[in-house]
Every structure is written in C-alpha cells, then in structure tokens.
Amino acid sequence: MEHRIYCGRVNDKHINYIVTLYGWVYNYRNLGKLIFANIKDIQGIIQAIFIPRYNETYKLAKTLRNNFCVKITGKVVKRKNINPKIITGHLEIIVSKLIILNKSKNLPIDNNHINIEENRLKYRFLDLRQEKMIHIIKTRSKIMSIIRIFLEKNNFLNIETPILTNFTPEGSRDYLVPSRIHKKCFYALPQSPQIFKQLLMISGLDRYYQFAKCFRDEDLRSDRQPEFTQIDIEMSFVESKNFRSFIELMIIYLWKKIINIKLNKFHVLTFQKAMSDYGTDKPDLRNHLKLINLSEIFIKHNIKIYQPNFVVIIIKQQYCTTKSLHNLHKYNLYISQYNTKDLNILQVSHSGLNNIMFNSDKDGINSLEYIKIHQKYIIHFLNLREKDIIFIGTNKYNGNISSMGMLRTLLGNDFNIINNDSWYPLWVIDFPLFTKNQEGHLISTNHPFTAPKNYDITKLISQPENILSDSYDLVINGYEIGSGSLRINNYKIQKIIFDILKLNNDIQENNFGFFLKALQFGAPPHIGIALGLDRLVMLLVRTTNIKDVIAFPKTTSATCLLTNAPHKVNKKILLELGLGNI
C-alpha cells in the first residue's frame, strides 16, 4: 500500500523528500510560468507549484479548477513567501506528477461565505468540507473515543441493544415501523434502551455502556433532533452520590482532554431550590442573578403582600450602562408572552425607587402603586444601593420554566453579567417522582422506572404527588447534558408505580410483562444516566445549534433535505405491509 501523507501533516522532516498527497484544489492561480494551487484535505492545506520543467504535469495543471479531486507527487521545499495563517505555510511542494482523479462542477454553495441553512443541509456533503465542520466532526469522534477508553478502563462493557422493539405508553411519541410478516403489527424505534439496560443489570453484566441511537417523535428546537445519540451508562451496586462522583470524573477528564480546561467543583441544587432561585430546572450558573421572592420576605415581617409570587431581580449599578438601559420596554413585551403583565423596572435614587419604565397595563399600574407604598421596605430588605435597578413582577410558572426565570436569562446576557469563558457544571437532584399533565393526571417526571427516594409505601400510595425521586440531571452552562436515576429493582414497587400511572393490567402485561417477571429473579440495586452526546459536542465546540454537530441532521420539521425523507412510498409496498388503506 502506497504511503500517504495528509496535506496538513507535511512538516520540516519532509524537506527535500518526495511525497504523495491526495486532496481537492482549494484555490488555483495561473501566473504563466508558474501555476499555484492550494491542495486541501481533512488535515489542512499546502501550496503546490507546477513548473514548466515537468512539461506534461505543467500542461495538465493548466486544466485544473477549484474543487477538482487530485493526486500529486513532488518534492517538499521551503517556501519563500511564508503564509502564517496555515500550519504548512512555510513549506510548498514542487509537483512532478499530477493525476486528476475527478473533475468538479461549480459548487452550489460557497464555503468561504455564510450559506443559508437550507442550502447547507441540501448539499451537506459539500458543507462538511468547510474547516469549521471538519473540526466539529473530528472533535465528536475524539469525544467518543475518550469516553470509550475511560469507561472500558473502569470495566464497563460496550453492549448493543435492539433498535426494533415494542412501543411504550409513557413518554414521547414513538416512531413506528410496520412488520411485513406480522400484518397490522408494528415495531417501535427506541426512545432509549431503558428496559434493556436494566435487564442487563439483572443478567449480572453489572457495568454497561453504549453510544445509543434514540428516536423521539416530538416537536423540535435548536438543541433537539428526532434521532440523536446518547451515552448510555448503567451500573449495579452503587449509591447515587458515588455514581454521580464517577460521572463527574469522566466529564472532568473529557473537558481536560478536549479543551484543556480543568472544571471546578460540581454544584448541587435540589429541584425546588433551582426553581425558586433561578426559575428553571436547568439554570446557567455563570449568570449570578437570582430571583428573590419579595412576598415570602414580607410574610415573615407581617407586611401585606401584593401577589404570592411577587419576585425581584436585582441588577447592581456597575452593570447598568447607558446602552444596557436603552429600550427597557422590550422586557415588558418579552415577559408578557409568559403571561406576566405587571412587570415594573425601578432604580434606586435618593433613598427611593424611581420608575424608569412605564407599564400602561392595569396590572402594571396596580403593582407600581403597591411598590411605591412599600419602597422603603423593599430597599431595606433587599439591601439596595444608589443606582441599583430592580425588575419586579409576578412569577408565572409553565412546567419547569417561569416568566421571571426566562427574564433572568435575558438580563444576564443583555447586561453582560455572564462570563462566556467560564464553566459551571451542576447537578439538579430530588425531582418530584410525579408531575401533573394538562389534564391533571399524574405522569412520571422522568420515567416510570425511577426509584422513589426515602419513601414510605403508605405515603407513596396515598400521596404520590408528594414523593421525591432519587433522580438527577447534569446541567452545564444552562444546558441539560444528561439525566439519570436510581432504578426500581423491586417488583411490588414497580407495580405500585404502574398502578399510580393508571396503567391497567392489560397494558402492564402486554408492554412490561417480561420486565416485571425479570424483577422477580434477584434484580440488583442499579443506577444509570443517559448523557446527550450531541449536546456535549455542542458545548465543547461552542455552537448553539445541534445541527452543526451531526453529520447529516434533520430540519426543525424533521425532514432530510439531502434525501427528501420522509417520502411517500409505492402502493405495492403498502399492500405488502398490510397498510393498503392508507
């Protein structure tokens, strides 16, 4: 096999040696007596020179154009005019032999400029040629390799679980696959390997991991895709705190290897504390702003409250510039979409609170009147100083986000409070075991296999909404990186959970009967986590769009612009699948 050198790896030790390179013509200049071409591959770029001395090669070089795929052989020499922008900028190759492996049409996208996302996804195979994308894909591969080595050094086994499986009545919608052999029956693509990894623990394979492909038919956003990869980890005979410490070691190791950053101590917040102080279950702790519940303070001092969740966000005067105080009405408009209409913005001035944004809404006028009456208490209890600014309004909740929590995030960015070069890893623990859906029915906050924490069976049955789960989310800089829990390993408790969720006996038997049986054969205590590989890569390469870190992503409408999937299929195929009525 011919020894190949990558363009970006040509170095001083190759000077005066003959080398062979493969790549694409990045750009091309014909100066008459000399022809210059920058040749690019996955590792970088090097300048190639074609001279009349090698007559046939020189003639062929005149036909070169950008993006032609070529093979060149030539002598490495020092370059007279150094290009400091590339690592090989002090070297060049005098080409003695040229083979044009393939010609290229003019590209429909220009990787030297910003292309619209639709074109980038339609011509993804060309988009992946740009340096930014090559860097991301290589980093993703390196992240997977580092994690694999770390886990296997700690005796974890890489075990694959089925892709075609049964659907689950809990969680997001499944992608269904019709069976040709079993008419009118369907497989489901896994939302996670949850049950299978627990079965592996029951099998005695006590340390498992997998880079698992998962599928969820849900509404998309910038950090979500219909198919995604999670780093699935499960472990027997370990308690929650120790398991989290192990995951911390892996994340610390990963950050050090990829970006040479030593992460500080992982913070820990309960779900309730995260929601009360930050208005979200995935707070970005780089933003030190907190929500202060004025109502709770006033109740302690027997002062009449305006609303039960009347919340204050304080911006200290050192962050208050003329630019940041421009167009304050946008905050009122922003928070109104979360159904808070009584927001007022005031600044401390001469021991009083001066209104610096007029809210014409009736609720805003009423709350301002209340604030003015109690301004001395507010300044005293919040320890406000001259020129400090407060944003004050009723905090409205919608699931695991709140109106003032969303405002806090916006203010942290607008007032330049966030240090973008810092990292704040965080564990959020003690989630409620159940939450209520829009119909008022109890559903699992995480999934129905999550173990309750410090529970009493009588209370679990009679007051399930008051039971905490032994679960945890890993959050870094406001992104939920992973979620996990201690698992139920007791048959009776698992049955109770299913009963609370109103899963009748038929559903339990049809969907989970095999698992309930397995729990009766000495299931060990076990615990696990699923880390989002895509989101980890997003953080480490500093992008906010999940499509950037996946080689061939879907759009926000779950379509593939490259292959035109999903697509209608032939009637004959539908008949074979027993779906002739569609």
Q: Enumerate residues 6+ apart whose C-beta is below 8 A from 330.
A: none
Q: What are 185-228's pLDDT values in tens digits?
A: 999 999 999 999 999 999 999 999 999 999 999 876 766 899 99
CA 40 to chain CA centroid, nearest Å: 31
Mean pLDDT, to the nearest integer, of 514-529? 97
Stretch (H or E) spanning 147: helix 131-153
Strand pairing of 267-270 and 425-429?
parallel
What was the pLDDT predicted at 339?
87
Q: How many helices (H) and strands (E) does the chain have?
A: 17, 24
Mean pLDDT, to the nearest integer, of 432-460? 93
Is the confidence at residue 358, as pLDDT, over 90? no
Is the confidence at residue 324, as pLDDT, over 80? no
Is the confidence at residue 302, as pLDDT, over 80? yes
What was the pLDDT predicted at 537?
98
**Side-chain-facing half-sphere of 273: CA atoms under 13 Å:** 10
Please report which confidence band the pLDDT of residue 582 belongs to, taking 50, 70 and 90 as the band edges: low
Superfamily of domain 7-102: Nucleic acid-binding proteins (2.40.50.140)
Q: Catalogue the E-assigned strands of 31-82.
A: 35-41, 44-50, 69-78
Q: Are residues 461 and 515 in contact, defined by beta-carbon separation less than 8 angstroms?
A: no
What was the pLDDT predicted at 322?
73
Is the confidence at residue 151, as pLDDT, over 80? yes
Mean pLDDT, to the nearest integer, of 271-292? 96
Superfamily of domain 287-414: GAD-like domain (3.30.1360.30)
Is the confidence at residue 1, as pLDDT, over 60? no
Is the confidence at residue 484, as pLDDT, over 90? yes
Q: Are residues 202 and 488 in contact, defined by beta-carbon separation less than 8 angstroms?
A: no
> Which has the higher per-residue pLDDT, 126 or 167?
126
Q: Are residues 492 and 301 in contact, defined by beta-carbon separation less than 8 angstroms?
A: no
> Which has the higher per-residue pLDDT, 3 or 29?
29
CA 512 to chain CA centroid, nearest Å: 30
Domain range list for the chain: 7-102, 133-267+425-571, 287-414
Per DSSP, helices labelled H in 396-504 are 403-414, 457-462, 491-500
> Which has the higher per-residue pLDDT, 260 or 359?
260
Q: Average per-residue pLDDT in the chain?
A: 94
Closest by CA to 42, choosing from 136, 157, 179, 145, is 136
User: What CATH fold (topology level) applies to the domain 133-267+425-571?
Assistant: BirA Bifunctional Protein; domain 2 (3.30.930)
What was the pLDDT predicted at 251?
98
Is the confidence at residue 171, as pLDDT, over 70? no
Mean pLDDT, to the nearest integer, of 535-549? 95
Please report which confidence band the pLDDT of residue 326 belongs to, taking 50, 70 and 90 as the band edges: confident
Provide the phi-psi class of 440: left if phi over 0, else alpha when psi is between -120 and 50, else beta: left
